[in-house]
Structure 1
Amino acid sequence: MGGSLENVGSAEMCSNGGGCMDTGQHLMYPKGVSMVALPLGNGHVENWADSGIADNSQHTDDTSTDIDTDDKTQCNRVKNGARMVVHSKVQIKDKAEDQKTLRRLAQNREAARKSRLRKKAYVQQLENSRVKLVQLEQELQRARQQGIFIANQGDQGHLTVGNGALAFDIDYAHWADEHQRMLNDLRTAVNSQMSDNDLHLLVDGVMAHYNELFRFKSIGAKADVFHILNGMWRTPVEKWFMWLGGFRSSELLKIIKNHLEPLTEQQLMGICNLQQSSQQAEDALTQGMEALQQSLVETLSSTSLGPTGGANVADYMGQMAIAMGKLSDLESFLHQADLLKQQTLQQLQRILTTRQTARALLVRNDYISRLRALSSLWLARPRE
């Protein structure tokens, strides 16, 4: 029955269509798919379902191709954007480093400029200090030549009336210039390997010149003992190391000993004993000075002090007279200290050979010259 109906349907389609092409095959279609066959002008029948499927497949492929192209374009844009961001960050980093380098270079240039200015100011201050010293010496020399200070007789030939301290400063300035000239000659002689006999003459000349300093220091102490005692004629750094108008012999011996190697055992023992005895004498004089100072404090404070002090004129004058008598002992302490320094130099000359003594005198002079140079540098230092 089913087969007859199928044939009837086929016959109807053939009769209505005006002709039918029998392929001799039975077509099988998927379930749910209806196929409609339409005649074409050329007599062929086109299957629309197949055509639709083919068209849909072609359309899908074209769409897929377009999507792939868009995706690639978008990916390329993302990649290019990422590269641009990285490149921008590198540029920013390089720019920051360049700015940091320029800033550091600018700071270095500014620091160098300030350093040059400080150095220039420092050199200028040194030059100004030197000029002032020369001018002061010239003024003192002119004052002396014009007869402002009248020379005394006898041992006070170097002391002038009116201002003994200034007169001593003038004499000391001339002594220092001559002393430096003699030490330069001694240095040349030591370096040239001069014979001991000739070198001995130069050494004796320097020692005699030291004796001259002690002589007019004693004269200056009679005019102004505090000026000589406190070393007002020395530079500030020299005054800081001074003791009773000069340098401690024990300290100078320690410095000299360290620069005279090699020394024989007997020489080394002799210098050590001289250093020890000098230090003991220095300690004794220091204790005497401290006792004198304490005695003056007690004398000046023995009567009433302050707004309620009721001491009469007679008591006050008596108190001042006692203090003046004690204060005059300062000159004696100064003389004993200079005598100790003078004797220490003489003892050192006996311990050492002529050439060693010459070297010792040069070491002593170089040490004091460095103290003087340090003082000049300190006074001329830049102050910001």
Structure 2
Amino acid sequence: MALDVPPGYRSLKEADVSSYLAGVPAVATKLGGSVTDWKVREVGDGNLNLVFIVEGPSGGVVLKQALPYVRLVGESWPLPVRRAFFEHQALAAESKAAPRHVPRIFHFDETLALTVMAYLTPHIILRKGLIRGIVYPKLADHMATFLAETLFATSDLGQPAAAKKKHMALFCDNIELCRITEDLVFTDPWRIAEANRWTSPQLDAAAAAVRSDGPWKRAAQEFKLKFMGEAQALIHGDLHSGSIMVTEDETYAIDPEFAFYGPMGFDVGALIGNLYLAYFSQSGHETWPGERDGYRDWILRTIETVWTLFDQRFRALWNKAHGGDTFMPALFATASEQAALQAAQDAYMRRLFVDALGFGGCKMTRRILGLAHVEDMESIADPDRRAECEKQALRLARVLMVEGSRFDGIGAANEAARAVRRETAKVPA
């Protein structure tokens, strides 16, 4: 297939970056000095894009450029570079709603499909910190805030219906990125697909069992229907632990190129599911059994706090910052009406909770049996040990997807994770 690029598009090389940025006054001022003082290095290790870090005497920036194909696969899988436009629009909306947790944008070039943003340092990708066993005391607080503020602001509760429809129309054309999610997350792990891969032969039987599990397959398709049909809010669309940059004091969500108006539970579930993957992977990073028991407990506490604070903050916004055309405060003035509103909020958050668990299970499954895996598991050198961690994660994923409605709260889901590990963990040799 021919690559689809706009007139004037070209992919930048390291040697091109400095001369390009010299023509962007705001960026040149940020970097300081002259072009000869700037240092450029390409650091992209993701699946889709080029990423350059540029440092000058006064500061640094990151330049991210969309390639016209999936970088993980190559030119045999074309992908429109217009995804950079949707990412820019999403960053603008997120910055308005949750400015403390979105990197500053200095420049956007639609023709070259590139964005220049703040260089976050000494921040690291959350996933790498989880592999190293680093505790981030403010992570749960910050991510609960980001989720509550961005999802509420773009929902029918946070904005008027006309504004939401207009904004939603803007993202409806992000078809190709949505299609990637629809196929890779909700469909491919449950069928024979060329792109699928897993730890073989250790997981051969497990992969075959997933493909023949009717209830699990049905659950995946039910969640796919939600993903395709429930335009609740502008969602990040890919909020895994590789899309979050952290220090002990700061947290930023990055890379929302998969953004569109979809079900809120997908974003919440993506984060929760990736934290569960980190939880089960810890056995593969221990030098002796039980070494990371304390860290495993911290991960589960983080999951519980993320949901608990998200629930509290979303409800608080509903009660104090309502801006939509549904559940308007004036409709619920008396005590009995307030009780009815409380019941509606309880039901709303309950549905969101079950959705989050199920979407989290979908994300866990695809990261073990699908195309793109996670470093949490892939960095475990011993394939037998890695496979045991992955089997545990798959077992919880099925429970979250098929039986999620039986959990009365996030604590119960965490207890299910502990139970899976107790029942299936093997002591490493």
TM-score (norm 1): 0.29
Looking at secondary structure, tell me which structure has more helix per residue: 1
Q: Whose radius of gyration is greater, 1 or 2?
A: 1
